[in-house]
A and B are shown apart, each in its own frame.
Chain A
């Protein structure tokens, strides 16, 4: 009797384990197929010419994505420069603060910000920055993306700094080190791997964002380094080429997709590496 019951339980365990493994595999398959498909479509387009030349008008063969590549890097760089100081400061405030009303309201705002559709952020930045200045600009695109990066930077800074032992802070303060130096030189370095992770994941998250750039960076078929003028970007070029009626442009869109996916993949791999390499043991 006992033995039978035990066998019955073990069978149920087996079934349960089998079930979760199957579910995992089923959800991985489309993801892998997706990446494989993009790579197969994109890889044939990629060559030196594709990466180093500007788009050509319809009808002319060839043409590349150099301006979009530079534009994307520029927009993301400026967005990171805006988001990091604010995000890290806010994360630090959250990790240090007792839950008073400022903390609660700010926390709620960050949670809501995370859920705001990217197109809405694009429209808001359009109203705040593009309309008053009378022109689309890379800078306004960067501001829109920096809003989208904030939650990931704030959350990861807060969580990492909360894990730094209180005893380190005490050690530093008891040596007569002022609070701000304690935070910047003892607590921050101890949590640096987590903070970097948050930043890189934030970058990976916004690298492919198209919607907020439609109303802000706008796109530009020519090369531009001016962040106060409209600029091209990878997601925008994919969007524009993909909805065009020309077979040739569709191929370019696949190439650009391939570059974008590779960038995000590489960023994620970097995250994994910094996670293990820079981790500080407590």
Chain B
């Protein structure tokens, strides 16, 4: 059974006078991994930042068109509430450097002043770290600073931090581009396991990575959606010549 969790309708985004995203119409399937690919500057990151409205940090960003999450336009919702439903992991690991591993996982709750009991806290921390495949490595050092971890571990900590909020969608903006191959493969495995529970949208520069882990692939070129289909189809039988050229490494 396939169902759409997120859909855009003639979506446009601009920074000042630069038109970055042009008339996007995309459907994202529930509990699948969707990879967003394309050459640099094609609007991949901008697109996923629009999904949780992080692009609004840039004061000259404007958008036109609609994005629906479960049938509701996200631009009519409160951005802070929306961001609790749509988690995000960034290119460079960014754990809170003043907090321990334990506090980092719970940051979404504590910073929002949710009151949790001790057992509930322990439960969330253990579950999130297990889902992020980090539990075994840090279970004895939970109260050490998160910044003592290696880059790959920090990134998994950041994933655990957004999992703790039980979001509906997790956005990953090139989560492995700053990591070594072993850490990368760990994160890929982990994402593969996570799609049982979550919808995942991942921006990646790495064509093999998109091929390995995603169910659907969207190919962006100069701010437009060139092609979107099941990953298998995109890789074996792309309809668009630009997609084909990119996948076979002729440009990008």
Contacts and interface: CB of A to CB of B under 8 A. Distances in A.
B59 interface: yes
Which of B84, B90, B96, B108 has its CB near the most chain A CB atoms (within 10 A)?
Answer: B96
Interface string B154-167: 00001001100100
B94 A167 contact: yes
Contacts of A282: 97
Given A175-B165, A181-B113, 15 more contacts: A168-B94, A170-B88, A170-B90, A173-B57, A174-B87, A174-B88, A175-B107, A175-B111, A175-B112, A176-B83, A176-B84, A177-B108, A181-B111, A182-B111, A189-B98
A280 interface: yes
Interface in A166-198: 167-178, 181-182, 185-186, 189-190
A210 B192 CA distance: 70
A280 B97 contact: yes
A165 B95 CA distance: 11
Contact of A177 (B85, B90, B112, B147): B112
Interface residues of A, number: 23
Given A174-B87, A174-B162, A168 B111 contact: no
A173 B82 CA distance: 11
B244 interface: no
Contacts of A174: 52, 54, 83, 87-88, 90, 162
Q: Is the interface of A mostly helix, strand, loop or mixed?
A: helix
30 contacts: A165-B94, A167-B90, A170-B57, A170-B90, A171-B90, A171-B94, A171-B158, A171-B161, A172-B96, A172-B107, A174-B54, A174-B88, A174-B162, A175-B83, A175-B111, A175-B161, A175-B165, A176-B81, A176-B112, A177-B111, A177-B112, A178-B80, A178-B112, A181-B111, A181-B112, A181-B113, A182-B111, A186-B96, A280-B97, A282-B97
Contacts of A173: 54, 57, 80, 83
Interface in A261-282: 280-282
Contact of A190 (B80, B98, B112): B98
Interface residues of B, number: 29
Interface in B162-207: 162, 165
Interface in B24-75: 52, 54, 57, 59
Interface of A: 98, 165, 167-178, 181-182, 185-186, 189-190, 280-282
A182 B54 CA distance: 14
B8 interface: no
A190 B165 contact: no
Nearest to A182: B111
A272 B131 CA distance: 43
Nearest to A165: B94
A175 B165 CA distance: 8
A169 B83 CA distance: 13
A63 to B, nearest CB: 50
Given A177-B111, A177-B112, A182-B111, A171 B147 contact: no
B209 interface: no
Contacts of B158: 171
B57 A167 contact: no
B14 interface: no
